[in-house]
Structures are given as C-alpha cells and as structure tokens.
Chain A
C-alpha cells in the first residue's frame, strides 16, 4: 500500500487474501483470493482457479504482485493473457528471495528485490525499497 501512488494514473483493481487489509486502506470491492502455500495443494488449486477467473474478468494490461503464492498465480494467469507482469519481493526477505520470488524470475517479465545485495541486475533488479 506504500506503493499505491505508483498506480494512481491508471485504472486499478486490488486483490488480497484478507478483507481486513483492504478495509484498513479504504479499498472498496477488492477480489478476495484463498490464501495458500506449497503445503496445501487443494487450496492452491482453488486459489489458482480464483486467480484465473479474476484475470479473465478484468483482463489487466499489467499485473503487479508483492506476494505470495496467490500473487504468483495472478502473475502466471496475467502472463497467459499477455499482460506485463511485475513481481516485487517483500522487504521482509532481506536474506534471500522468497520461494515465490525465485519462481517469478522465470514467470514474470521483471522481478524486483528490495535489497541491493540480492539483485543480479538482470532478471532480479533492485530499484529501491519501501523502507
């Protein structure tokens, strides 16, 4: 949400796994996705289907995600419909990129880390952080 103003000039739709997060930031009508992780294959499948429906419904030109698995699914679905896709790895991952972040290096058009020492300057760039 700290990055919100970066989207201000565009038509934006937000999706989250937590209604309370959207409420906190005054976002009306977000699409809710089921939270999931790599140890919950059924929930992950449900989330992937939700991400696909979300993507087909809004047909975004750009998909930006800050994580985690549900965001990766949105990036994947976005990629399949020709959207530009950007992964911003959480600032919490100071020691190493998240697992989803590592996957996104192969899936998203561009992956950003918020820690300069983790960047390789090519597929994984550092351009600043929310700190």
Chain B
C-alpha cells in the first residue's frame, strides 16, 4: 500500500491529482490524505484528514509514503522506517507562502530512502524503482552518527 499525505495545514492538489492519474497503473492500493484540497480523487481511496493514531497505523501498513516536503512527514517516515517520496510545494503555484519546502528538499536530497521529485511526471518512475518489499530497517544515517559523536565530544571535552 502507498500512503499519500499533504500534511495537516494546506491542500496540495498537484500532488493528489498526480497520484490519482497514475493510481490505476501502479496496481497497488493507495490511500490519500488530501486535506483542504479541491481536487477529488477518482481512482484512489481518500480522506480529508486522518487522526494521528490511525495515520500511524496506516504508515505501519504502507510500504512507501508520498508526501509534500514537510518535515513532519519526513520525521514520521524516518521513525517508522519507511521510504518517502517528497514533492516540494511551490510558492509560484500558490502551494505555500514561500519556497522553503524546495530548500528543505534540497537539504534532504542526499539521505537514503528519501526521494525528491519536482514534477508529478516523475512520480511513477520513482515509485516503481523503490523495491516493493517493506523496507529493511534503515541504518542510522551518517548524519545521525555525526551528531551523536559531536554530543559525546561535548560531554567529554566540553566543546565541539
């Protein structure tokens, strides 16, 4: 199952429409959380909002998350060890007040199991490249290891 989420604040029609268009060719169940969006999916199950415990349960069942480039979605995917495809909201398309998601996505680009796309046209090929088995447990990222090392250094030597 693929879980699609636009986060809790704003709708994101470009993402939902893009996923709805490829829903039939993907040949696996898709559940979308569409928020306040005005586009109504025709080809996939959708909910406006999903309560946190239920959302957590869906993430557990999903093999993959497709989301806006919101840090909350990224944290959920990391915590639950799920790969995530991110499409940043674009201010010029009225999807957010500024382009911070594009900046965030750029920063996340190098991390394992995080896939960034800029256009919905890329969604299908990226999703199909991600293995269909539920991900093996992610290794602690090298960034997390470095942060832990820095903390240990601070505790032992008083500086970083």
Q: How large is the interface on A (under 10, 10 to 19, 20 to 34, 35 or more residues)?
A: 20 to 34
B143 within 8 A of A: yes
Pairwise interchain contact B75-A84, C-beta atoms closer than 8 A? no
| Chain B contact residues, majority secondary structure | helix
**With A112-B160, A127-B150 as contacts: A91 and B103 at CB distance below 8 Å:** no
A69 within 8 A of B: no
The tally of residues in B whose CB lies under 8 Å from a CB in A reads 29
Instruction: Tell me the complex Cα distance, A1–B155, Å.
Output: 17
Q: Which of B77-121 contact A (CB under 8 A)?
A: 78, 100, 103-104, 107-108, 111
Contact of B155 (CB < 8 Å), options: A2, A5, A10, A130: A10
Residues of A within 8 A of B71 (CB): 91-92, 94
Contact of B158 (CB < 8 Å), options: A10, A84, A91, A128: A84
Pairwise interchain contact A6-B160, C-beta atoms closer than 8 A? no
Contact with B along A59-91 (1 / 0, CB 8 A): 000101000000000000000000010101001
Residues of B within 8 A of A95 (CB): 100, 103-104
12 new A-B contacts at CB < 8 Å, known A9-B152, A131-B78: A3-B144, A6-B151, A7-B155, A10-B155, A62-B154, A91-B71, A92-B71, A94-B100, A95-B104, A109-B159, A112-B147, A128-B145
